[in-house]
Structure 1
Amino acid sequence: MSEHIITRLRSVIAEYGSRPATRIRRDDSWEIRSYAEFGARIDQVAQGLIDLGVEEGGRIGIFLGNQPTWSEIDFGACTVRAIPVPLYATSTPEQIAHIAADSGLTVMFVGNQSEAERVLEVAPDLPALERIVIVHPYEGLPDDLVSYEDFLKAPDEAAIADRLSRADGDDLASIIYTSGTTGAPKGVMIQHKGLVAQSDALDEFFTLSPDDHSLCFLPLSHALERAWTVVVLLHGCMNTYVENARTVAEQMVLAQPTMMVSVPKLYETVYTTAHAKVLRSAAKRAIFAWALRVGRHNQYANRAGRQPSLGLRAQLRLADKLVLKAVRDALGGPKTVLACGGAPLRVEIEEFFSSVGLPIMQGYGLTEASPLVSFNAPSDFKEATVGKVLAGGELRIAELGEILYRGPNVMLGYWHDEEATAEAIDEDGWLRTGDVGYIDTDGFLTITDRLKDIIVTLGGKNVAPQPIEGLILADPLFEHAVLLGDNRPFVTLLVKPSLPHVEALAKAGQWQGELQDWLASNELLDELRRRVEELTAKLPTQERPKETSVIGEEFTMDNGLLTPTLKVRRREVEARFKSMVDDMYARLKERHGGGAN
């Protein structure tokens, strides 16, 4: 019989009862709960669900931001063999209605008034939804909401033990709804055995001790943060929850985490900020570049298994004092684990963090794999790759370069959607990832793009946008770059420039006006085009953007241009700026006479 998360978690709680399990910043101090206290709260949630009549296999919704309560509800539901269904805190009423109706939620946990009001808006259309529980009650609370503290109940140990006696690794640990960029979101059925298998696979390469502690700031409703939180808590470590992701920079310094899993955007921001700080001084830029070179050469020596030379070690002490330590401090100090997933990390950013003494272990996965497929490890890694396949898993490259995965953590299927399940998993158990890549002779996987993002021009040329966008984003003047051209004669580019770098350019060139004037200026557009041409000069002609336009609007989750894990929504960008895109192609038609590559 395969292992259930709660079976293992209860052993951890028994062993590490007095050690800190969860932590969150409240005003100017930390609110900390020990493993014993965390376990007691989990059992109170479990009993509350039993008292509400939630049956084994019943679905409960978790609609709140990151906080210890999120994990209490999650593990409490699993304790009574109910199935947690996470919802992003940014979900709209329409998204809530779809997920709640499709999964058949009977209980919904909400965080605050905003989340409660969105659920209440659609509740009349959800006959299965019997109870809404609110973690942070507000004045004038409607009668059909119950506070979380009133929901919690003193545990009946016999009743809970009875539920757990039937717990098995084949049970569903969650139904996680995919983002639904093509069609309605589908519910991915993740099993307990898959999450346990991932945790065990990491143990072969990483040494996690109860002295380690992690920063939980990606949305817990996302498979990556959810799975990593399971790993953290199954190892007796402390998990520090960041309720507002916008405060992550401050929280990293306050929390001083020894472990952190993030998406590329955080590392890109640190990289850009560090470079921006030296932008206006030639002397500072020179010292900065020298320090990174010293750090990089020391890393090369260490990786080769040899001690750096005496002179190099002496230079490193100075480089560390002048530059490198400040970058590490910005991320909260040294790390036992610093990992990246969700999208490929640009190689110059990977090299930057390695140079400052914070090597990033890139990994790869998708919700349908619970989500881990491959990862780099300190003793077995290769830059610019996403590592080797998870122990017990297999990789294969199929037609058009699509990556196929088979392993112990592949989803059971999509909730109530056999047709979509059959499309995603073949009869031999291979999961079609939808990502394109290759495996090198050493077994390391490299991702090149999403299959659905591949651009096919009118001339029939296939163009993978991510590597080209990566080339362009290597220049810190560019904050976002979106390559377009599907079913068009040429590829074109929309860019969002970095405002600090625009300001530096404007002052150096003595441009007139204010920031908005600079963003719309011909001087900026000419400079952006010049740099794009330089950066893409060695690419085949069909891959070089023939026109560039500037976007002044910020890319955020709130305006729909970024996903909850801060990836650019390519189709949303193209739709939002359709007139700008159409204008680019109109200019190109005049210039080239409508010809296609």
Structure 2
Amino acid sequence: MSTAVRTETLVELLEQTLSRRGEKIALKITTHGGYEQISFAELKEKSERFAATLNKRGLQRGEKFAIIGKPRTDWAVAFLGILKAGGVALPIDASWQTGEVQRVLREMDAVGAVVADAPHYEMVKDQRHLQHIVTMDRLPGVPTVSDWLSRERFEGVPADPDDVAVMLCTSGTTGNAKGVMLSHENIVSNAKSSLSRLDFAEEDVVLGIPPWYHVFGLIVLVCCLHAGAQLIYTDDYKNLLTYMAENKINILVGVPKLFHAMYEKLESTIQENRLARFLWRYAPTLLGARIKRRLVGDAQLKYFLSGGAPLDTKVMKGFRRLGIGMVEGYGLTETSPVLAVSTPFNDKIGSVGPAIPGVEIRIDNPNNEGIGEIVVRGPNVMKGYYKNPEATKKVIDPDGWFHTGDLGYLDEDGWLYIKGRKKNVIVLEGGKNVYPEEIEFELKQIPLIEEIMIKGGKRKGLEVIKAFVYPKPELLQKHSPEELKKMIWEAIKEKSKDLAPYKRVHSQQDLIILDKPFEKSSKLDIKRYLYDEA
């Protein structure tokens, strides 16, 4: 059983690095004209000045202050400033619509908001419960983050590691948003334990795709600031390779969709070049060395880090074959988020690695294959859901174990393998359990398919496996729905030969073709409940 150790607050964790690294660049954000950047010293000074203004304007310890917008230097200034003033940072997804934003601000009792631009300002300007509204862009009659950089001496606000530091909402769309309360200790312990596995160094340059209002992006931000590494954020996928080369990055952090696209492009390039095909077959690490030189010049490319969703094992194997390290992690918003992290090169393909230090993982009620619900315990487990003790009790038992709702198993070395979501399991008439995610991983490799969801359904009174497919958008323009369905069905039948018979879609009647992408939650999970009927 893990024992609680008194840790410092998140502000204390970062303060030493901000002072020590001084004028070194802490953060760079890509813009249309280049980069926006801020040094460690600037971030320290500006966040203190922003905190001083918050204190002067009456922000009380524990009050929630929202940040709405994509990552910018002002986002980081506001985030640290809110924490230094004793407040609780409430990052909100920049893509949420007006109703979602307003509902979360109201239900989470936000007293203020820092918003990026005019569209986000329009969402919040009439919310009477907000005592403060500050913008990143300059708008008529509205103070900016820069305007709120006080010249008065900042008096730090005492905080306790058990105080809530950050609240993140799991959803804002259905009226039952859950505010995940993460304490300073939750985040500090998770950052330290994650870094013991990830090994970010002061001289490293990290390029990150996940935005900071998602828990994955937020922990990357905290880890980089604590380690003293430079973090570059971009959502400009088209110019990603340019940013990698210009900045000679050491670590690329992204979601599986990014790495799948990169690998697909790499495969295509290799097949078009005779020398590359030869090297791939007989000297893959030599080919990999050439690729790494093109990507980052003479810098050391340590590894790619994937999180947020399962990574295709083919992609994992392919990059490692080239000598490019591929690390996969697993976690949830409620666990601050990291629970397990693999290593750049290992032979346990498909595993997300062992638990990080301080975290316990066990499998609850395993079946005869050893698969059961993943339950975890550690200092990173959230304090609970805001104003929702009943929901909290459903997921955190009296012994402190958090029930993830995910299914998986542990091997003899304690490495974790994810099989899917507990609530998504399909139980067939013969008693076999089918894990939709496993089938999705196989079938999404079909070139015709953009997105796929596997669900259980009824046909003639029996439980069957159904496939909901959104085809590649260009195919929707070229082919009729009937033609597409026939093409995709033939491809599914061929690809399903890699699956056990009971895991296959057995009838074309159980293939449903969609004409638009799946609706997704704020976590980018498909809203499966919307697709119960064909």
TM-score with structure 2 length normalisation?
Answer: 0.88
CA distance in 2, matches of 1:11, 1:239: 17
Looking at structure 1, the residues matched to 521 and 326 of structure 2 have their Cα atoms a distance apart, in angstroms, of 22
Q: Percent identity?
A: 27
**C-alpha distance in 2 between matches for 1:552 and 1:519:** 11
Give CA deviations for 1:233-260 in whole Å, capped at 9, x if unaligned: 0111112232666765654444443223
Q: Check if 1:412 corresponds to 2:383.
A: yes
Aligned to 1:492: 466
Does 2:69 align with 1:64? yes
Q: Aligned equivalents of 2:212 and 2:298: distance in 1?
A: 21
Mark the runs of 5 or more structure 1 residues left unpaired by the alignment. Answer: 299-315, 503-514, 582-597
Amino acid at match of 2:468: L
Q: Larger C-alpha radius of gyration, 1 or 2?
A: 1
Contact 1:480 1:496 in 2 (8 A): yes
1:67-466 to 2 correspondences below 5 Å: 67-120=72-125, 123-124=126-127, 127-138=128-139, 141=140, 143=141, 145-157=142-154, 159-160=155-156, 163=157, 166-179=158-171, 184-242=176-234, 248=240, 251-277=243-269, 284=272, 290-294=278-282, 316=286, 320-321=289-290, 324-325=291-292, 329=295, 334-378=300-344, 382-399=348-365, 401-456=372-427, 462-466=433-437
Q: Which amino acid aligns with 2:272?
A: K
1:221 Cα deviation from its structure 2 partner? 1.0
Q: Which runs of 5+ in 2 are unaligned?
A: 1-5, 367-371
Cα distance change on mapping 1:249 and 1:111 into 2, 3 Å: farther
1:561 aligned to which of 509, 514, 519: 519
Once the two structures are superposed, the pairs formed by residues 502-517 of structure 1 within 5 Å of their partners are 516-517=477-478
- Which residue of structure 2 lines up, in the alignment, with residue 482 of structure 1? 453
CA distance in 2, matches of 1:98, 1:83: 18
Corresponding residue SS for 1:490? strand
**Relative to 1, partners in 2 of residues 1:427 and 1:56: Cα closer, same or farther, differing over 3 Å?**
same
For the 8 Å contact 1:218–1:565, the answer to whether it is kept is no
- Rate the CA distance shift 1:565–1:67 in 2: closer, same or farther, 3 A: farther
Range with greater deviation from structure 2 (214-223 or 342-351):
214-223
The structure whose residues are more often helix, as a share, is: 1
Residues 302 and 324 of structure 2 are in contact (CA less than 8 Å); yes or no, is this contact kept in structure 1?
Answer: no
Amino acid at match of 1:364: Y
Contact residue 205 and residue 378 of structure 1 kept, 8 A: no
Aligned counterparts of 2:83 and 2:225: Cα–Cα separation in 1 = 14
The alpha-carbon deviation at position 564 of structure 1 amounts to: 5.4
CA distance in 1, matches of 2:427, 2:174: 18
Supply the distance in 1 between the matched residues of 2:213 and 2:298 (Cα, whole angstroms). Answer: 24
Contact kept in structure 2, 1:65 and 1:243, CA below 8 Å: no
Judge which range, 394-403 or 472-481, deviates more.
Answer: 472-481
Q: Shift of the alpha carbon at 1:184?
A: 1.6
CA distance, structure 2, for counterparts of residue 198 and residue 3 of structure 1? 12
1:37 to 24, 39, 42: 42
SS at 1:344 equivalent? coil
> C-alpha distance in 1, partners of 2:414/2:337?
20
Distance 1:525 1:243 in 2: 33
The 1-side partners of 2:82 and 2:106 are apart by 19
Q: 3-state DSSP class of the match of 2:328? A: strand
Residue 480 of structure 1: CA displacement?
Answer: 1.9
Equivalent residues of 2:352, 2:418 under 8 A apart:
yes
> Aligned partners of 2:381 and 2:390: how far apart in 1?
17
**Separation in structure 2 between the aligned mates of residue 421 and residue 352 of structure 1, nearest angstrom:** 41
Alpha-carbon distance between aligned partners in 1 of 2:189 and 2:347, rounded to the nearest angstrom: 21
Q: Counting strand residues as a fraction of each chain, which structure ranks higher?
A: 2
Secondary structure of 2:81's counterpart equals helix
Cα offsets for 1:159-193 (capped at 9, x unmatched): 22xx1xx2222121201111368872201111111
**1:246/1:4 Cα in 2 relative to 1: closer, same or farther (>3 Å)?**
farther
1:495-525 residue CA offsets vs partner (Å, 9 max, x unmatched): 234468x6xxxxxxxxxxxx71236462x54
1:64 Cα deviation after fit: 0.9
Q: What residue identity is the alignment partner of 1:265?
A: K
Equivalent AA in structure 2 for residue 496 of structure 1: Y
Are 2:172 and 2:522, in contact at CA under 8 Å, matched by a contact in 1? no
Cα deviation, residue 449, structure 1: 0.2
Shift of 1:273: 2.6
Going from structure 1 to structure 2, the CA distance change for 1:434 and 1:330 (only over 3 Å counts) comes to: farther
CA distance in 2, matches of 1:271, 1:570: 28
Deviation, structure 1 residue 540: 4.3
Rounded Cα–Cα distance in structure 2 between residues aligned with 1:433 and 1:331: 41
Aligned: 1:570 with 2:524:
no
Counterpart of 1:361, as a letter, is V
Alpha-carbon shift at residue 562 of structure 1 (Å): 4.3
3-state DSSP of counterpart to 1:485 = strand
Task: Give a deviation string over 1:307-356, Cα, whole Å, max 9, x none.
Answer: xxxxxxxxx25x754xx448x62999753342111111111011122123
In the alignment, residue 44 of structure 2 is paired with which amino acid? G
Q: Assess, with a 3 A threshold, how the Cα gap between structure 1 residues 180 and 98 changes in structure 2: closer, same or farther.
A: closer
Moved more, 330-339 or 14-23: 330-339
> Structure 1 CA distance, aligned partners of 2:90 and 2:503?
42
What letter corresponds to residue 204 of structure 1 in structure 2?
S
Provide Cα deviations, 1:421-467, integer angstroms capped at 9, x if missing partner.
11110000000001000000111000010112223467875421111
Paired letter, 1:146: P
Cα separation, 2, equivalents of 1:270 and 1:168: 43
Cα distance in 2 for partners of 1:402, 1:286 equals: 48
Distance 2:113 2:9 in 1: 24
Q: Deviation at 1:494?
A: 2.5
Distance 1:229 1:566 in 2: 20
Other-structure match for 1:473:
444
1:47 is paired with a residue of what secondary structure? helix
In 2, the alpha carbon distance for the partners of 1:100 and 1:453 equals 31
Q: 2 CA distance for matches of 1:266 and 1:481?
A: 17
Give me the CA root mean square deviation.
2.9
The structure-2 alpha-carbon separation of the partners of 1:404 and 1:270, relative to structure 1 and needing over 3 Å to count, comes to: same
Q: Counterpart of 2:39 in structure 1: which amino acid?
A: S
